[in-house]
Chains A and B, each alone.
Chain A
């Protein structure tokens, strides 16, 4: 029982990181109808900048800000100077360009930093806290949990309670009608990329202290998990991304804890297959066909 409580709490923290990354994929999908295969590589670039900032200034908080700002800049650059020039009539060119971008970013990181894992320390202890003599979760896990929840709430407020959010949602689902109402749709798409890429950068920054360290490929598995989650939840559904992310995070932690780490990928795959068999569009997929 004690072990279960610990695994559930850690799984929740891990799940929220996956949820954040999945949410970032949903934001881009909704804004631009693209599954951004370069999301992990782009976020990793932002986290390298954060790493440079933390080694230089010693402040984790400045590094966090750097990750967000760089994430936004990378999102802006990729959308304006790359994706916008790709033909949009079918999804293939966009995907190929994204995969090409991954290769370029990985090479650049490799040239600048080499293949080694650079360690990045957590801002809080990763030793579990005890309630009585039951280990619950570490201060770092608690920090991850609170920050991830904070970001989710902030995004929900942005999208649902502000006029920018209203424009973002309208532009994503009905671009032509939105333009007729005076909304600058291309600008909304750029903002979507910037938001998405910043959220992904934070997710990767939160992930690194729990991994071997920072490396060009550090976020690859996170991308796979988040992509699974986004498909599970329905690429259109922010709620699906969050619920799915937490579910997969808890599943991985439980399976790793009770059956061994080798079983975790199989469990995730089994879950994906099962959901796709039952609900091909994803659990939270919107049933209604969208208007032009």
Chain B
């Protein structure tokens, strides 16, 4: 599928194509009023979706509910058509749902190499397959290859985020959730990471939900943009349209 076709499909994403990831009537809250209130969202296979919105809009909450870290009050999460709402975080991960959570979420007491092996543990059976996948990752992420024996806490912020992304990709997930991967990184590193992400989506048909404050960078690699405000979707359109809509940007994205 070409990028244009995907973008066109984005507009009609409530159509009949089977969704790789879907949330249906999702209501999530912590203690008081719901933070996400009756959300519907469908991601067709291979689509890269930028999830945008002001601080506190509910982006992190949505991602954590999809991966199972937060239980919804009602509604469903479907992975490739299958209802996974009642399954555990671990089960969703083993079924091919990967999440790179907020912050440089690596295991700091393990080495780079061990972190990568950990990523492939459940999706790539056999030490040989994992070794090969890890070595392949070192070609994509060259800075990591030089630091393979370093402990996680010896890495820079950029290297940590690279490792977190590499560790997620190594599992060959079907759906990848990313929570502000660009946070605190130099523009050049952001561009590099996003290019790798786009490439992975194109080559492997990976479906991506990318929560970002860095609107311009996120939209530049996304097929589609979804803007949330106060826990509801206020705009859902092809990435170029969102990028080109000054009223939308002004109202919800603050620039």
The chain A residues found within 8 Å of chain B, CB to CB, are: 163, 166-167, 169-170, 173-174, 176-185, 286, 288, 290-292
Q: Which residue of B lies closest to A163 (CB)?
A: B121
Contact of B109 with A183 in the complex, beta carbons under 8 Å? no
A125 to chain B, nearest CB (A): 44
Q: Which residue of B lies closest to A288 (CB)?
A: B153
Q: Quick one: which of A180, A290, A291 has the most chain B CB within 10 A?
A: A180
Contact of B108 among A166, A180, A290 (CB under 8 A): A290
Residues of A contacting B: mostly: helix
Contact of B118 with A179 in the complex, beta carbons under 8 Å? no
| 5 A-B pairs whose Cβ atoms sit less than 8 Å apart in the complex | A177-B107, A178-B118, A182-B90, A182-B91, A182-B122
Q: Which residue of A lies closest to B160 (CB)?
A: A291
The chain B residues found within 8 Å of chain A, CB to CB, are: 67, 69, 88-91, 93-94, 98-99, 101, 103-110, 114, 117-119, 121-123, 127, 152-153, 167, 171
A-B contact count (CB 8 A): 84
| Contact status of A166 and B118, CB under 8 A, knowing A173-B109, A288-B153 | yes
Inter-chain CA distance A178–B171, complex, in Å, is 13
Contact of B105 with A179 in the complex, beta carbons under 8 Å? no
Contact of A181 with B93 in the complex, beta carbons under 8 Å? yes
Contact of A177 among B106, B114, B127 (CB under 8 A): B106
Inter-chain CA distance A167–B122, complex, in Å, is 11
Inter-chain CA distance A182–B94, complex, in Å, is 5
Give chain B residues whose Cβ lies under 8 Å from the Cβ of A178: 107, 118
Contact of A181 with B69 in the complex, beta carbons under 8 Å? no
Instruction: Supply 4 further A-B pairs (C-beta < 8 A) apart from A170-B118, A176-B69, A178-B107.
Output: A166-B110, A169-B107, A177-B105, A291-B152
A239 to chain B, nearest CB (A): 14
Give chain B residues whose Cβ lies under 8 Å from the Cβ of A177: 101, 105-107
Contact of B90 with A291 in the complex, beta carbons under 8 Å? no
B191 to chain A, nearest CB (A): 26
User: Which 5 residue pairs across A and B have the least CB separation, nearest first?
Assistant: A182-B122, A182-B93, A288-B153, A179-B89, A182-B94
Contact of A180 among B99, B110, B117, B127 (CB under 8 A): B99
Inter-chain CA distance A182–B98, complex, in Å, is 9
Contact of B107 among A179, A184, A185, A291 (CB under 8 A): A291
Give chain B residues whose Cβ lies under 8 Å from the Cβ of A183: 90, 118, 121-122
Give chain A residues whose Cβ lies under 8 Å from the Cβ of B93: 179-182
Contact of A169 with B109 in the complex, beta carbons under 8 Å? yes
Contact of A170 among B88, B91, B107 (CB under 8 A): B107
B156 to chain A, nearest CB (A): 14
Give chain B residues whose Cβ lies under 8 Å from the Cβ of A176: 69, 101, 105
Give chain A residues whose Cβ lies under 8 Å from the Cβ of B69: 176, 179-180
Contact of B121 with A167 in the complex, beta carbons under 8 Å? yes
A32 to chain B, nearest CB (A): 16
Inter-chain CA distance A174–B153, complex, in Å, is 13
Q: Which residue of B lies closest to A236 (CB)?
A: B109
Contact of B98 with A174 in the complex, beta carbons under 8 Å? no
Give chain B residues whose Cβ lies under 8 Å from the Cβ of A166: 110, 114, 117-118, 121
Q: Which residue of A lies closest to B69 (CB)?
A: A176
Contact of B121 with A291 in the complex, beta carbons under 8 Å? no
A282 to chain B, nearest CB (A): 16
Inter-chain CA distance A114–B228, complex, in Å, is 69
Contact of B98 among A170, A180, A184, A288 (CB under 8 A): A180
| Contact status of A290 and B109, CB under 8 A, knowing A166-B118, A180-B89, A181-B167 | yes
Q: Which residue of A lies closest to B99 (CB)?
A: A180
Contact of A174 with B107 in the complex, beta carbons under 8 Å? yes
Inter-chain CA distance A189–B121, complex, in Å, is 18
Contact of B108 with A291 in the complex, beta carbons under 8 Å? yes
Give chain B residues whose Cβ lies under 8 Å from the Cβ of A184: 90
A234 to chain B, nearest CB (A): 13
Inter-chain CA distance A167–B90, complex, in Å, is 13
Contact of A181 with B122 in the complex, beta carbons under 8 Å? yes
B27 to chain A, nearest CB (A): 23
Give chain B residues whose Cβ lies under 8 Å from the Cβ of A288: 108-109, 153
